[in-house]
Amino acid sequence: MTLQWNDLIVRDARALTASEIRDLLKVAERPEITSFAGGVPDPALFPLDDFNTVYQDLMADDAAGRRSLQYSISEGLPALRQWIADDLAASGAKRDIDNILITCGAQQGLDMLGRLLLESGREIVVEKPTYLGAMQAFSMRRPDYVGVDMDADGPVIEQLEAAFAKGTRVAYLAPDFQNPTGRSYSLERRLAVLEVARNYGAVILEDAAYCKLSYDGTQLPSLLALDETQGDPNAGCVIQLGTFSKTLAPALRIGWVTAPRPVIERLVLMKQAGDLHVSTVNQEAALRAARRLFPGHIEGLRDAYRHKRDTMLKALDDFMPEGVSYTRPEGGMFIWLTLPDHIDSRKLLEVALDDAKVAFVPGQAFFCDHSGSNTARLSFATEKPERIRSGIERLAALIKRVHNQY
């Protein structure tokens, strides 16, 4: 009997669909394309020599080397969690190492929190637009999405409150240099978000993936730091997702979830059942690299990415026609483009790849309600400054041409 995979595969797994970014990236990888599509760090900025030293030091130490190749506890290495706790404390969020779980990148944190808090029939608030990867992770639990509009200061509070008033109890928010828009919340909006969440007993999942990549002065405190815990690290309503992917190297797959103990205890069991623990050797390497490199390396990243951001903004200012608007992010890797209403960015992409040899990500995929057909995500992270400028010039010329055809 031939196997009937469609019958054998369960509904949760059938809810998965291929990511548009992923398929797109295959075309954008061709060398003749200037790609603003990727969301990946610039590999030229990886501290390769330091990693070489870190791995040599580790493997030359018999005891540490063998320990780093062995199974380890599901929570993550205590010394790494202590480093993260210290770093959080320095940013104003005082938590214990028992409030931290090491995950395979922040992406696994999203997946695990989806498995913890979501199921068919439950709702989750997401920003419009939001991080596509978060929706992909959550969608395996088949929740209903409640989209909340964003203004210049963050999510529209009335909409957030309305969602909570109707019974939604989880919100996924990215207050710093959001992927895909680059937008950040004002301090006032952060406080307002926390107040309304507290009033309704709702959980905030705070995505802090980009928070270290700030280019214009002081960083605002995170929701985790602003959460009113009255000194109790297990009180509060914020669960924060962090990662080394943007500051050290994505390939280590080291992220973390910071949360009250009742959450961490469940997640540790889930981690143990799901894949035992994050690679011991990678945790050890990340810890040694962070101790060795931070904060100097972060300053270097900020300088390099700030220059790229400024280059892209200058090019947008110089070349984009009337009717095109864009964000001016103070950090992160992305600028969000809003085109005239009648321009469909998916169609634009096809021409852009063929004619202008430029790639970007059409914005629609980032909206839970599939709106935003006239929007696009531009990343300034990977291309060199001179290619950023000429790529934007070609893209602007194409948009001008397409605009005039109507």
Longest dimension (CA), the chain: 70
Structure tokens belonging to residue 209 = 């993936």
Minimum CB–partner distance for residue 131 and a copy of itself (Å): 12
Question: Which lies closer to a copy of itself via its Cβ, residue 63 or residue 404?
Answer: 63
Minimum CB–partner distance for residue 65 and a copy of itself (Å): 5
Cis amide prior to 129 (ω within 30 degrees): yes
Strand partners, 56: none
Question: Which lies closer to a copy of itself via its Cβ, residue 22 or residue 347?
Answer: 22
What CA–CA distance (Å, rounded) separates 299 from 47? 13
Minimum CB–partner distance for residue 39 and a copy of itself (Å): 9
Which whole-number Å values give the CA distances from 4 to 9, 10, 13, 16, 18, in the listed order? 9, 12, 15, 18, 21
What CA–CA distance (Å, rounded) separates 308 from 41? 12
For tokens 């291929």, name the residue.
18
Minimum CB–partner distance for residue 114 and a copy of itself (Å): 9
Question: Which lies closer to a copy of itself via its Cβ, residue 217 or residue 262?
Answer: 262
Minimum CB–partner distance for residue 328 and a copy of itself (Å): 27
Question: Which lies closer to a copy of itself via its Cβ, residue 266 or residue 306?
Answer: 266
What CA–CA distance (Å, rounded) separates 136 from 131? 9
Side-chain half-sphere CA neighbours of 332 within 13 A: 27
Rounded to 5 degrees, φ, ψ at 166 are -85, -5
147: enclosing H helix or E strand: strand 144-151
Minimum CB–partner distance for residue 16 and a copy of itself (Å): 4
360 Cα distance to chain centroid: 17
Question: Which lies closer to a copy of itself via its Cβ, residue 273 or residue 406?
Answer: 273
Question: Which lies closer to a copy of itself via its Cβ, residue 275 or residue 303?
Answer: 275
Question: Which lies closer to a copy of itself via its Cβ, residue 110 or residue 349?
Answer: 110
Minimum CB–partner distance for residue 67 and a copy of itself (Å): 7
Sequence-distant (≥ 6) Cβ neighbours of residue 365 within 8 angstroms: 19, 20, 21, 132
Give the three-state DSSP class for 126.
strand
